[in-house]
């Protein structure tokens, strides 16, 4: 085995299995397993699955309020200016009585992987449980292990306002067969596929939307083609009234002329291949994706560059004119 192969094998083991005690020659103690599992869970929650971005309130300057980390956000999305209408609220994920303290591990996983609450109701599918359904059991356990360790914050989040309502049944999870697959001879891209489409939300954000009430919120006949509107008609200066996710496929309207280094730069530094800043995406040094490990960012980039071309020209306007 070459030195580089040994390094890659060790890195893969550390990132994917060490928190289970599955690497090395000796078995880890239960406490060591719990500690490493929670560490993996924190990395997923903060930088891959992006739970923090939706469940932590912001300060007036736009930074995260770390005193209310994962305590839920009231009016995370507002689609109606009238009082009492339009606000989508995100849940408190801390181990407080108003959060997840009284939920079992199985109940927590059932919510974020299958969209079903302990009372049997479906969650509003803005929460991408239909993506996280394909997360490995080890990573799902790691997320729960970490959520048990965060500081408890008392915050009883009210129900979301109309027109937000849970569907009668959760949308069907994404069938992995419908997710573009790289060659198995490219282990970096294979790992990137998992991070971008099962543990993370690149697929969710960069796939066109379907009308509400369908099988699921995104159009899996056009994966990664972009065009999902993250600000539908509600101007929020200095941004324009519509902000669309980019086409990440290998089409001229997407990333056909990008290199892996370009994709890594977009995630880690928050700028495109021409040096223009990328708006909305949680990239750059202060963003969640900016803290990805270099290996994970590279693996995701290698996967992105294998996605078949789909023509879909998307507006990249970032600031209102």
Residue 215: is its pLDDT beyond 60?
yes
The pLDDT mean for the chain works out to: 88
pLDDT level of residue 242 (50, 70, 90 thresholds): confident
Counting every residue, how long is the chain?
Answer: 321
Q: Which pLDDT belongs to residue 34?
A: 63
Residue 11: is its pLDDT beyond 50?
no
H/E run at residue 188: helix 187-197
Q: What is the mean pLDDT of residues 36-51?
A: 97
Which residues make Cβ contacts (< 8 Å) with residue 117, sequence separation at least 6?
Answer: 111, 123
Which residues make Cβ contacts (< 8 Å) with residue 59, sequence separation at least 6?
Answer: 65
pTM above 0.85, yes or no: yes
Lookup result for tokens 């700028």: 271
CB-CB contact of 157 with 91 (8 Å): yes
Q: What is the mean pLDDT of residues 82-88?
A: 94
pLDDT level of residue 12 (50, 70, 90 thresholds): very low
Residue 18: is its pLDDT beyond 60?
no
pLDDT level of residue 241 (50, 70, 90 thresholds): confident
Q: What is the mean pLDDT of residues 207-228?
A: 91
pLDDT level of residue 186 (50, 70, 90 thresholds): very high
CB-CB contact of 263 with 305 (8 Å): yes
Q: Which pLDDT belongs to residue 15?
A: 36
Q: Which pLDDT belongs to residue 5?
A: 37
Q: What is the mean pLDDT of residues 166-189?
A: 96
Residue 33: is its pLDDT beyond 80?
no
Q: What is the pLDDT of residues 94-107, one digit of tens each?
A: 999 999 999 999 99
- Comparison of pLDDT for 249 and 279, the residue scoring more: 249
Q: Which pLDDT belongs to residue 207?
A: 97
Residue 212: is its pLDDT beyond 80?
no
**pLDDT > 90 in the chain, percent:** 75
3-state secondary structure of 70: coil
Among 127, 89, 88, CA closest to 110: 127
- Comparison of pLDDT for 282 and 4, the residue scoring more: 282
CB-CB contact of 171 with 220 (8 Å): no
Q: How far is Cα 113 from Cα 105, in angstroms, rounded to an integer? A: 12
- Comparison of pLDDT for 200 and 22, the residue scoring more: 200
pLDDT level of residue 29 (50, 70, 90 thresholds): low
Residue 151: is its pLDDT beyond 50?
yes
């Amino acid at each position: 085995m070459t030195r580089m192969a040994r390094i890659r094998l060790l890195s893969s083991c550390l990132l994917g299995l060490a928190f289970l005690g599955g690497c090395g020659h000796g078995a880890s103690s239960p406490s060591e397993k719990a500690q490493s599992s929670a560490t993996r869970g924190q990395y997923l929650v903060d930088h891959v699955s992006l739970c923090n971005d939706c469940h932590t309130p912001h300060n007036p300057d736009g930074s995260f309020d770390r005193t209310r980390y994962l305590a839920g956000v009231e009016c995370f999305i507002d689609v109606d200016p009238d009082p009492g209408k339009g606000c989508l609220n995100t849940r408190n994920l801390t181990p407080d009585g108003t959060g997840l303290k009284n939920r079992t591990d199985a109940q927590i996983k059932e919510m974020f992987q299958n969209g079903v609450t302990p009372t049997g109701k479906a969650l509003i599918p803005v929460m991408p449980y239909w993506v996280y359904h394909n997360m490995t059991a080890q990573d799902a356990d790691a997320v729960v292990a970490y959520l048990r360790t965060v500081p408890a914050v008392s915050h009883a989040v009210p129900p979301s306002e109309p027109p937000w309502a849970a569907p009668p049944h959760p949308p069907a999870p994404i069938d992995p067969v419908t997710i573009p697959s790289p060659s198995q001879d490219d282990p970096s891209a294979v790992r990137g596929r998992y991070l971008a489409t099962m543990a993370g939300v690149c697929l969710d954000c960069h796939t066109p939307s379907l009308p509400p009430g369908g099988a699921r919120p995104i159009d899996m006949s056009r994966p990664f083609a972009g065009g999902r509107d993250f600000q539908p008609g509600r101007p929020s200066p200095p941004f324009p009234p519509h902000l669309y996710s980019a086409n990440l496929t290998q089409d001229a309207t997407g990333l056909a002329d990008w290199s892996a280094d370009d994709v890594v730069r977009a995630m880690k530094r928050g700028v495109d291949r021409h040096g223009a800043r990328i708006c909305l995406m949680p990239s750059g040094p202060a963003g969640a994706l900016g803290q990805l490990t270099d290996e994970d960012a590279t693996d995701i980039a290698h996967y992105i560059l294998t996605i078949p071309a789909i023509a879909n020209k998307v507006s990249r306007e970032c600031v209102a004119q």
